[in-house]
C-alpha cells in the first residue's frame, strides 16, 4: 500500500455540501487522517492519477486538487498524531 497526501482548495463554495462530499470520499479509505485544514493522508493501492480522477468527479472546474505519493523521507511539526502515525506506517 502507498501513502498519499491529498490537498485541495475549493474555490467560491458557499455550499458546504461539496466540502462534505470531498471529506466523505477521503474518509471512505480505511486508513485516512487529517493532516492540515484542507490536507489529508491516505493509504491505498490506487495511483495518484486514480485518486485525482475520482476527486475531479466531485469538485468544480475552478477548484484545485493535489495528490502526492509520500516517500519514506518526510518531516513534520505539530501534525495530529493520527496523521503522523499513518505517515510512519
Split the chain (89 residues) into runs of 10 and give each run's mean pLDDT. Answer: 95 81 96 96 98 95 95 92 94
The grid coordinates listed for 32 are 485516512
Sheet holding 2-9: strands in order across? Answer: 31-36, 39-44, 2-9, 64-70
Each domain of the chain, given as residue ranges in start order, spans: 2-88
pLDDT at 15: 72
pLDDT at 72: 86
pLDDT at 14: 67
CATH topology of domain 2-88: Alpha-Beta Plaits (3.30.70)
Q: Would you say 56 and 67 are in contact if contact means Cβ atoms under 8 Å apart?
A: no
Amino acid at each position: 500500500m502507498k501513502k498519499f497526501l491529498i490537498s485541495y482548495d475549493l474555490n467560491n463554495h458557499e455550499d458546504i455540501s461539496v466540502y462534505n462530499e470531498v471529506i466523505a470520499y477521503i474518509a471512505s479509505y480505511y486508513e485516512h487522517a487529517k493532516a492540515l485544514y484542507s490536507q489529508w493522508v491516505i493509504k491505498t493501492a490506487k495511483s495518484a492519477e486514480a485518486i485525482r480522477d475520482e476527486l475531479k468527479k466531485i469538485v468544480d472546474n475552478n477548484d484545485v486538487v493535489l495528490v502526492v505519493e509520500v516517500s519514506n523521507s518526510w518531516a513534520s511539526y505539530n501534525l495530529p498524531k493520527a496523521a503522523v502515525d499513518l505517515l510512519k506506517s
